[in-house]
Structure 1
Amino acid sequence: MTHSTNPLIRLYFKIGLIPQILLGLILGIILAAVSKDTALGMSLLGELFINALKSVAPILVLILVIASISSHQQGKRANMKVLISLYFAGMMLAALLATIASFLFPSQISLGESVEQIQLTPPNGVSEVLKTLLDKMIDNPVNALVKANYIGLIIWGVGIGLALRHAKESTKVMMNDLSYAISFIVRIIIRFAPIGVFGLVSSTLAETGFGELFKYAHLLVVLVSCMLIVALIINPLLAYLVMHKNPYPLVFTSLKDSAIPAFFTRSSAANIPVNIEICKRLKMDEDTYSVAVPLGAAINMSGAAITITVLTLATVNSMHINVDIYSAVLLCIVTSVCACGASGIAGGSLLLIPVACSMFGIPNEISAKVIGIGIAIGVIQDSVETALNSSSDVVFIGAVSSATKKKQRQIELNKS
């Protein structure tokens, strides 16, 4: 395609993916403003793009993990302990920041307004969240593929990969070839991102507009501000502690290449192929990122921790419930655990708000109204949340890979 004689096609591929996505964004806004009916009809383009990403992501994750584990050489480290520590540290600090911001700039929400009946079934407590996580880990592999259960796929991928480490070399080569083939399909789908973004933005703006957002402007400012602080200060600080060098080139790359696509897809799961491509392009350790990217999409949810904390404390404040320091610390811990249980789909974190609200004796009827408010502001909140979650994965994986390479170079120098 890049060697086509058509000047428009050649220009399209020469521009680059991110400028194309921004162009799709601008055209989508213009279409929504000019013709609402036409913009609503463009929703098919966005749905096709998201569904294509979602359909290829589960099989890609399973095959990549199997290929990576089966080809893993003895003595090489995947650095999962360090990464998981970074994931949880990031979520705890995000929840703590959201708690402090909620005390300094308390938000009020109107719980008396009629909210549409939402057919959602939130978990009853933290124990149920943990049980759900365990159930996902032992899920049937076929069912995990169909339902995009990434935690289950990772467990099965690791298990099959470990078993195949004793297989013939030709079997390992076949698994690697299969992973390259599926990655090729992913690259083709990602090339259609600008068209998908155009359809998503135009149809979303035509359907909702920004009227609902202005009602909760203060709440949105607190949410988005916390997420920006995590992305631009907390994540770089954690990355620096691991890699011991300026983390901002990596941070800005992750924001440009990972956060922007995630902002529009609003799905950490759908952005898995994008993050794998970024890690591959930046020449990060494949043994690390092939497992860490899908794992991060399942449990690294700093944005979700912020959303759950801020909306819970906004509800508490609106109901005039006093919160002491011990309850606030406990809320941070509960929120971090709950965030791990947030599904990798749009609005997944909202379902876990009732768990945090239950700490303060807030009934599910009120929590359901808070979920409704979350859905109303989700055009911005959920987009920024997903962008933070997804880009954080790249930052932490890049930091660990950089530290590993630095350590390897030091070992080689000491040997010489």
Structure 2
Amino acid sequence: MKNLVLKWNKVSLVKRILLGIVVGIILALTIPDSASGIIIFGDLFVGALKAVAPILVFFLVMHAISKHKKGNKTNMKSIIVLYAVGTLLAGLAGVIASFLFPVTLSLTSSAEDLTPPSGILEVIETLLYNIVDNPVNALINANYIGILVWAILLGIALRSASDSTKNVLESFSNAISTVVKWVINLAPLGIMGLVYAAIVSSGLSALLDYGKLLAVLLGCMIFVALVINPLIVFINIRKNPYPLVFTCLKESGITAFFTRSSAANIPVNMKLSERLNLDKNTYSLSIPLGATINMAGAAVTISVLTLAAVHTLNIEVDIFTAVILIVLSAISASGASGVAGGSLLLIPLACSLFGISNDVAMQVVAVGFIIGVLQDSCETALNSSTDVLFTATAEFAKKRKEGVEIATDPGKVV
């Protein structure tokens, strides 16, 4: 048995995950009535990721800040700029695609039990309250903004601590990282359960009525992933961007697609950043921050679904309003929570720009939940994989400016 486990672990994680996907599809088609026994694998996997992610972020960031010495520069400014530019361009892509391929909706569904934010001020207010959240409460509720703030503050306070104290922090960080590796090794089983659950509970029949809307949404996300993001990477590193892009999509995007949670995918991205030999002091902060504010997929969702409502109601849109929508969708996307469906509740905020009532906007949100089995999965895959992509891009760009040779094919380091 031990030899069998060792051989299994030597197989590429991506290949094991693909096997899990195939097995999940086969089981869903052959024994759809055995739901509870198989779905539990997916629930346990996502639960384990969500459980370990907050404490992982807390200790890694606190340890990295406490060990940071004056004069040691990180790439956080560059990464934040990349996050902002990527999200804005994604919003632009969604707006342009919506004008090129206008979509109308049949607004008959309701979503009365959902409560969207009433305006951008409420989004900012929620963000500020998350910043000053109780640290224990932030860990329990996976409030990553609060976790980051407390970890940074404690890390700064511990910079003057003794080496023995810092060694204890390092030991905790290493121990939690080891637990993360154990959890990620269970990904094939977990994703098998998630695939099985998606096919058995939702199926694909519900998506056929929204084929054109899905085509525009997913087409935009694919365009961002394979055209806009590579262009951003190329401008920064002046090397062929696609090996790195495909590595991030393959190693991070696949798991994010099935977990549908940027927060749950933080441990996966941390592990990938380590395998890409990135600076731990940087990625331990940029990855959890990206899971909170780097939301290119969410910007696409907000802009496309909002303009679908606009076209349905025959509302005229001028260029100035379109530009405001691009900026608003990017800002709103950055306020979306890193959980499944987090971007949909911000659609009414964007709809209010065009005077669309909350009742109509919430029907659009309901449509979003209907197609969410694909829309939200692709959105999260784009969001989460881009966190690693831009973190790596900033580091490679820094090395290029310093005259350090960077790998022509960085994907080969994985």
* Structure 1 length-normalised TM: 0.95
CA contact (8 A) 1:227 1:303 kept: yes
CA contact (8 A) 2:87 2:299 kept: yes
Percent identical pairs in the alignment equals 52
Match of 1:76 in 2: 72
How far residue 218 of structure 1 moved from its aligned partner, in angstroms, is 0.5
- SS of aligned partner of 2:34: helix
Residue-by-residue CA offset, 1:223-262 (whole Å, 9 max, x unaligned): 1111111111111111222222222221111011000110
Query: Does residue 329 in structure 1 map to residue 323 in structure 2?
Result: yes
* Alpha-carbon distance in structure 1 between the residues aligned to 2:280 and 2:251: 18
CA contact (8 A) 2:109 2:367 kept: no
Residue-by-residue CA offset, 1:117-171 (whole Å, 9 max, x unaligned): 4522110011111111111111111111011000111111111111111111111
CA contact (8 A) 1:69 1:161 kept: yes
Query: Does residue 30 in structure 1 map to residue 40 in structure 2?
Result: no
Letter of the aligned partner of 1:16 in structure 2? S
CA contact (8 A) 1:54 1:269 kept: yes
* Alpha-carbon distance in structure 2 between the residues aligned to 1:221 and 1:22: 24
* Alpha-carbon distance in structure 1 between the residues aligned to 2:343 and 2:36: 26
Query: Does residue 287 in structure 1 map to residue 281 in structure 2?
Result: yes
Match of 2:38 in 1: 42
Q: How does 1:359-378 map to 2 (within 5 A)?
A: 359-378=353-372
Letter of the aligned partner of 2:149 in structure 1? I
Residue-by-residue CA offset, 1:283-327 (whole Å, 9 max, x unaligned): 111111010000000000000000000000001101111111111
Match of 2:411 in 1: none
Q: Which moved more, 1:16-25 or 1:181-190?
A: 16-25
Query: Does residue 318 in structure 1 map to residue 312 in structure 2?
Result: yes
5+ residue gaps, structure 1: 412-416
- SS of aligned partner of 1:390: helix
Residue-by-residue CA offset, 1:370-394 (whole Å, 9 max, x unaligned): 1111111011100000000011111
Q: How does 1:85-96 map to 2 (within 5 A)?
A: 85-96=81-92
CA contact (8 A) 1:31 1:39 kept: no
How far residue 40 of structure 1 moved from its aligned partner, in angstroms, is 5.1
How far residue 15 of structure 1 moved from its aligned partner, in angstroms, is 2.1
5+ residue gaps, structure 2: 406-414
CA contact (8 A) 1:88 1:300 kept: yes
Of the three residues 355, 378, 392, the one matched with 2:349 is: 355
Q: How does 1:211-222 map to 2 (within 5 A)?
A: 211-222=205-216
How far residue 406 of structure 1 moved from its aligned partner, in angstroms, is 3.3
* Alpha-carbon distance in structure 2 between the residues aligned to 1:228 and 1:101: 12
CA contact (8 A) 1:250 1:395 kept: yes
Match of 2:245 in 1: 251
Root-mean-square deviation (Å): 1.4
CA contact (8 A) 1:40 1:202 kept: no
How far residue 410 of structure 1 moved from its aligned partner, in angstroms, is 5.5
Letter of the aligned partner of 1:189 in structure 2? V
How far residue 173 of structure 1 moved from its aligned partner, in angstroms, is 1.4
Q: How does 1:7-406 map to 2 (within 5 A)?
A: 7=4, 9-39=5-35, 41-111=37-107, 113-115=108-110, 117-406=111-400
* Alpha-carbon distance in structure 2 between the residues aligned to 1:149 and 1:51: 16
Residue-by-residue CA offset, 1:251-284 (whole Å, 9 max, x unaligned): 1110110001100100000000000111111111
* Structure 2 length-normalised TM: 0.95
- SS of aligned partner of 2:343: helix
Letter of the aligned partner of 1:48 in structure 2? L
* Alpha-carbon distance in structure 2 between the residues aligned to 1:329 and 1:408: 37
Q: Structure 1 residues 185, 118: closer, same or farther in 2, change over 3 A?
A: farther
How far residue 221 of structure 1 moved from its aligned partner, in angstroms, is 0.7
Match of 1:414 in 2: none
* Alpha-carbon distance in structure 2 between the residues aligned to 1:267 and 1:241: 29
How far residue 407 of structure 1 moved from its aligned partner, in angstroms, is 3.8
CA contact (8 A) 1:40 1:207 kept: no
CA contact (8 A) 1:297 1:389 kept: yes
- Paired residues in the alignment total 405
* Alpha-carbon distance in structure 2 between the residues aligned to 1:339 and 1:211: 29
How far residue 35 of structure 1 moved from its aligned partner, in angstroms, is 2.0
- SS of aligned partner of 2:33: helix
* Alpha-carbon distance in structure 1 between the residues aligned to 2:38 and 2:234: 43
